[in-house]
Structure 1
Amino acid sequence: MAYLKYVPRSGAGPWGRGGTRYYRLLREYTMDALRETLVFLRDYPVYLTYFEAFGTEMSAVPVERIEEHYKPEERLREIASTLDVDVLEERALALADLISDLAGVAMSKMGVTGSILLDIHVPGISDIDLVVYGLRESLAVKETVAEALKKGDTEIRRFDEKLTRAWCYRKSKTHPLTPEEARKLLARKWNIGTFLGTRFSIHPVLTEREAEKYGERLYRPLGTATIRAKVVNATMSIFLPAIYEVELSTVLEGPALREVREICSYEELYASVAEEGEEVVARGKIELVRDLRQGSAYYRLVVGSLRGRGEFIKPVGRRGVSGGLPPDETTT
């Protein structure tokens, strides 16, 4: 399973390598943009697969058609082992080295992705996108980077006001958020910022041993709903999909469910935006989950589904405590 981001095209955008230019087909990291790539692939149906466990069609590359597997950890090692690097590669390595040192996480547990991974990046335009492997390592990096952003005593910084306004305006156009709501979400994000003036993002990834195996759970859609729920465990919300274990407070709209066990977001925007003890209002697709390992079944709410529209997660704070989004604004 994979999404299509770049396609070779003459006279395309700034990304390129060895005389080949690439057009960025995935214009935004949103489900709307992902749906557009699936429409494009209708002309190349070999790259579309129906995944029975998820009950949906998604883009994927057949194993026999894989020519090269780009590995973030190997690319970071490559950058570290050569003197012939450009300014963006140098900054990516410096950021990874700083985080590794502050968090006590080995560089072997980190990598670089995005356009730098493919070596089609453009210094001055491209961002730094890092990955960190493993649950323990990811939690350590989260704590470290969040503290660095809070203190501001390293080159790891939050967006300045100009970048903040641009980011919030853009999110308000691609998601069911006002610019002010987007600003409140941004204040909760630990994995984006700037380093030496260059934008960066950090993406935690579970190891193969830690990750769920395909087919261990079966997911079936049951319509849409808007719910209010209390977060009881946000540990897995740093990954993608972001998982919040919740206790259902009330169903605001949709099927009259007595229990929703988790909120799952495939929209990275909503990763790590709510903590244990906080309440959220969320709109998305209700799924019945059958856990074949445990022999159990439960309901979850999915944000960022391929067929969904207007899906979101909005923190509303703790009961009796201010700090979230106003409750009367969360269902608009």
Structure 2
Amino acid sequence: MNIRPRYFIETKDNLFFAVNTYYHPKDKIIAFLRYVPCEEGDRERNGIHYKKVNSKEAYEYLEKYHPDYLFYWNVENKKMMGVPVDDILEVHSPIARLNEILNDNSDNKYYEKVKLLANTFHDEAGISYDNMGITGSTLAGLEREDSDIDFIVFGLDNHKKARKLYGKLKNDDSSVLDKISGEYWNRVYHKRIKDDSMSFDEFVWYESRKNNRGLIKGTLFDILSTRNPSDIDFNESVHYKQIGSMKIKCQIVDDEQSYDTPAIYSIGNIEILDGPYVNIENIISFTHTYTGIVKNNENVIASGVCEEVSYQDSEEKSYNIIIGTTRESINEYVKLEKSPCEK
């Protein structure tokens, strides 16, 4: 199976990991710990209660119970998190999970909303069911009645079609797809922003133009993007090294992959405000918050971690600024140089 970002790995001792890269070593799957068994957990599957863990809790849990799940691979000075192949109980596919829901004949109200979302993108945007999926708690079978819908569209062109359709339908009073409003914005803001890097008004402005997050019958949904296998090119000789915090001003030159996993922005006209004086080529975001947030020709500020990229048997090096080195992305962001909310 081609294991891509947003697939889930279930281990033999009932841990759930979310896959977060297209590339893996031969004996492990790179993925981030999301759910652990816990008697007081607020989610349940097959008689086992689970709780969702944040970055700090995930590392602490693995350091205590599975130190072998923390290891060095192609990032020189940072431990990766992942599952040894021999410990995998099941690989959960977003496409297969969506197919299960589409064929479910129960009166599950949450499933009805997932079906309606999938059918809308299929019927009105022409996206095949084989290029759609469901991830997050629903993929792990840990969803609740109030869970958000983490919907995936596979292929960058298909994802563009889905965003375009939603951008049209969200202002149509007869559509089942609604734009976010009122208290829903507070919920999304406090879920995504964990520091003071972006004000509430700024967040609403950016999210409103991205067209990858909305409402369906009162339930929040995300339109996530993952590449298809034919779009993936991996060079095993590439190695990475995080060399310190960095802050820059720059201009967005190419946003074609800004909704990918990770999001990639090619940049120019760079001014280094803080950090090492190296030639930064890209802003790369591993967090959904900064996916598609800025566009071509816009002048932006980016804060994150400088990453050195080197190649085996070559002295060539390049540099990126990384956003989302943790799920919470504290002091890591990209946004317009001038706030859109300034009067």
Per the shorter chain, which TM-score range? 0.7 to 0.9
Alignment match, 2:103: 81
Cα deviation per residue 1:240-262 (whole Å; 9 max; x = unaligned)? 211101113311222233x3211
Q: CA RMSD, aligned part only?
A: 2.6
- The amino acid of 2:253's aligned partner reads V
- Distance in 2 between residues matched to 1:102 and 1:294, nearest whole Å: 49
Identity of aligned residues (%): 26
- What are the residue-to-residue correspondences of 1:238-257 with 2, within 5 Å? 238-257=259-278
Indicate conservation of the 8 Å contact 1:229/1:246, yes or no: yes
Out of 15, 23, 34, the residue aligned to residue 5 of structure 1 is 34
Distance 2:50 2:174 in 1: 38
Displacement, 1:309? 4.6
Structure 1 distance, partners of 2:132, 2:193, is 32
Which residue does the alignment assign to 1:330?
Answer: none
Greater CA drift, 114-123 or 267-276: 114-123
Q: CA offset at residue 313 of structure 1?
A: 0.7
CA drift at 1:54: 5.7
Q: What are the Cα deviations for residues 133-190 of structure 1, in whole angstroms up to 9, with x where unaligned?
A: 1222222222222333355552211211111134335545445222223222222332
Unaligned runs of 5+ in 1: 26-32, 318-322, 328-332
1:218 to 2:243 alignment: no
Match of 2:184 in 1: 163
Asked if 1:324 corresponds to 2:310, the answer is no
* Match in the other structure for 2:113: 91
Give 1:73 shift: 0.6
Q: Which segments of 5 or more consecutive residues in structure 2 lack a partner in the other structure?
A: 1-29
Q: 1:245 to 1:153 in 2, by over 3 A?
A: farther
- Whether the 8 Å contact between 1:89 and 1:116 is mirrored in structure 2 is no
Task: Say if 2:153 and 2:225, in contact at 8 Å, map to a contact too.
Answer: yes
Q: Following the alignment from structure 2 to structure 1, what is the Cα–Cα distance between the partners of residues 288 and 49?
A: 28
Deviation at 1:84, TM superposition (A): 2.5
- Structure 1 residue 3: deviation in Å? 0.9
Query: 2:45, 2:205 → 1: CA distance?
Result: 39
* Secondary structure, aligned partner of 1:187: helix
Counterpart contact for 2:156–2:226, Cα < 8 Å: yes
Structure 2 residue 27 is the aligned partner of structure 1 residue 23: no
Name the residue aligned to 1:66. Answer: 88
3-state SS, counterpart of residue 56 of structure 1 = coil
Change (3 A) 1:292 1:326: farther
Q: CA deviation at 1:65?
A: 0.6
1:298 aligns with 2:326: no
Following superposition, the deviation at residue 314 of structure 1 comes to 1.1
Moved more, 277-286 or 33-42: 33-42
Shift of 1:270: 0.6
Query: What's the CA shift for 1:237?
Result: 1.0
The match for 1:110 is 132
- C-alpha distance in structure 2 between counterparts of 1:266 and 1:170, whole Å: 16
Once residues 170 and 79 of structure 1 are traced to their aligned partners in structure 2, the CA distance between those partners, rounded to angstroms, is 26
Q: Residue 194 of structure 1: CA displacement?
A: 0.8
More helix by share: 1
The separation in 2 between residues aligned to 1:209 and 1:263, in whole angstroms, is 24
The equivalent of 2:211 in structure 1 is 190
217-226 or 175-184: bigger deviation: 175-184
> Which residue number in structure 1 is paired with residue 26 of structure 2?
none
2:276 is aligned with what amino acid?
Answer: P
User: Given the two structures, how large is their TM-score scaled by the length of structure 1?
Assistant: 0.85
Shift of 1:316: 3.1
Q: CA deviation at 1:276?
A: 0.7
Higher share in strand: 2
- Does the CA contact (< 8 Å) of 1:53 and 1:217 recur in 2? no
One-letter amino acid of the structure 1 residue matched with residue 207 of structure 2: L
Is 1:276 the equivalent of 2:296?
yes
SS of structure 1 residue aligned to 2:184 = helix
Paired residues in the alignment total 312
Contact conserved, 1:168 with 1:180, CA < 8 A, in 2?
no
